[in-house]
Structure 1
């Protein structure tokens, strides 16, 4: 059986001690690839670097909706601009756009920056911009959706 992991955070610090071993085990088990997703602009260089070091990892860059919820409007714009900047410089090293989407779950809206409707609007704007980037660069996009129902992409 051929397997592809459509969502993983192999770039997280929890894997720093045994990442190579874990990835070798994945390859032996028949995993062909792992979509290694970012959550913030801080993750972007690491996600790209890991993709270069481990061919099984497929770098997917984007800003997680929970991150977008927890920053100001201007900071959200800066986060997405970092994705755009990386794509302009290194799109050939990027497999896809992720982890992007909408997360309207109560705990995210409670801890977010601003009123719930403002947080939702900020998430929609960030998702729309990242969808445009995916289309512009011909990249697949993996969407995170929680408590957003039909409000995703139309």
Structure 2
């Protein structure tokens, strides 16, 4: 099975004790590629360093909306500089978060647009974080799409069918994480069933929200196979077929051979 984890945070402290072993376990489970995602300027630098360390790890750099208000002078310029370094394949994670009150929404919107513009300048996809902000995210994306085509993905999607449809219409991919496997999430599974095969991606969001049957454990890229298997069942595919589909989609989107 050939898998592609489109979203992990390998720089997190949770992986300090056994990062090389974590990457090797993923490889042993068929995970060919892992994207490690930046959330701050410092974490984006660590993502770039990890991509330089592990052959199958690539970096996505950006400042997550909850950290926008904590930016230090020069942090955005650091992201711009990192975005052109070797093995950086995307911009983010960016987006809007109305669940936590860590950053003013107008400031979040400003930097969401900045991330999109940087991604368009470099012809790299952008990675969207959306929490209790679906209407605002779709509105901003529609505005940005008037200026240039959008290329990116909704990460760890858990939104409504309407939001999914709007994002698909804008040309985005939809990525599902462990929450797809949670017993209570029948509506999310029904939404996932409606996503066209050529727009589907899978991820872990490790070390957070491990999928069934690993709930309660630290999540890690090796566990992406469980979400992939759930997605396969929803689309009447084998796990191997869904792994092949989602991996091909991710390689095409992020331009990784």
TM-score normalised over the length of structure 2 = 0.51
Pairwise CA distance, 1:77: 7.1
- Give the superposition deviation at 1:95: 1.2
Q: TM-score, normalised by structure 1?
A: 0.82
> What is the CA deviation profile of residues 84-138 of structure 1, one whole-angstrom value per residue up to 9, with x for unaligned ones?
12235x2x33111121111111xx12xx25xxxxx11100100100111011111
Separation in 2, partners of 1:87, 1:22: 25
1:99 aligns with 2:93: yes
Q: Check if 1:79 corresponds to 2:79.
A: no
* 1:82 shift after superposition: 2.0
The aligned counterpart of 1:42 is 42
RMSD of the alignment, in Å? 1.7
2:121 maps to 1:136: yes
**1:78 offset after TM fit, Å?**
4.0
Q: Kindly indicate whether the alpha-carbon contact (under 8 Å) linking 1:63 and 1:100 is maintained by their aligned counterparts in 2.
A: yes
Distance 2:72 2:65 in 1: 10
State whether residues 48 and 82 of structure 2, in contact with CA within 8 Å, keep that contact through their aligned partners in structure 1.
Answer: no
Counterparts in 2 of 1:3-152, with a 5 A limit? 3-68=3-68, 70-71=69-70, 75=71, 78-88=74-84, 90=85, 92-105=86-99, 108-109=100-101, 112=102, 119-152=104-137
Query: Counterpart of 1:116?
Result: none
Equivalents in 2 of 1:34, 1:96: separation in Å? 12
Equivalent-residue separation in structure 2 for 1:8 and 1:99 (angstroms): 11
Aligned length: 139
**Secondary structure of 1:83's aligned partner:** helix
Deviating runs (4+, > 4 A) in structure 1?
Answer: none
Q: Kindly indicate whether the alpha-carbon contact (under 8 Å) linking 1:99 and 1:142 is maintained by their aligned counterparts in 2.
A: yes
Q: Distance in 1 between matches of 2:113 and 2:11?
A: 25
Which whole-Å CA distance do the structure 2 matches of 1:40 and 1:139 have between them? Answer: 18
State the shift of 1:76 in Å: 6.9
Q: Residues of 2 paired with 1:128 and 1:104: CA distance? A: 17
Where structure 2 has 5 or more consecutive residues not aligned to the other structure, the ranges are 143-257
Is 1:77–1:126's contact at 8 Å kept on the other side of the alignment? no
Which of 1 and 2 has greater Rg? 2
